[in-house]
Structure 1
Amino acid sequence: SNALHLYLNPGANVLENIGIHRFMNWNKTVFTDSGGFQIIRDFNLKVTNKGPMFKINKTNHFFTPEKCTQTQNQIGSDVAMVLDDCPSYESSYETVAHSLKRTIEWANRCKNTHKNTKQLIFGIIQGGVFPDLRKTCVEELLKIGFDGYAVGGLTIGEPKEEMFRTLNYTIPLIPKNKPRYMMGLGSPGDILESISLGVDVFDSAFPTRNARHRTAITTNGNFEITKKKYADDFSPVDEKCICCTCKNYTKAYIHHLFKEKELLGMRLLSIHNLFFILNMMRNARKAIRNNEFDEFKKDFMEKYYG
Structure 2
Amino acid sequence: MTQFLRLLAGAALLASPAAFAADYDPPIVIDEAPEYQPVEIGSGWYLRGDVGYTLNHLPTFDITASTQTQTSSILSASIGAGYYFNDWLRVDGDLNFLNSDQFADSYNSTCAGTQITTVTDTVSGLLIGLSSAASTRDCDGADVASNVQSTGLVNAYADLGTFAGFTPYVGAGAGLALTNYRMATNDRMCSAEQTSIVAGGNTITTSFLCNGQSSVTDDDIRYPGVENSQTQVGLAYALNAGVAYKVSKNTQIDLGYRFTSLPSATYAAHNAGGLFTATGLNFHQVRLGLRYQIW
Q: Which TM-score bucket, shorter chain as reference?
A: under 0.3
- Is the radius of gyration larger for structure 1 or structure 2? 2
TM-score when normalising by structure 1? 0.18
Which structure: greater strand fraction? 2
TM-score when normalising by structure 2? 0.18
Which structure: greater helix fraction? 1
Which structure would you say has the larger RCO, counting Cα contacts within 8 Å and 6 or more residues apart? 2
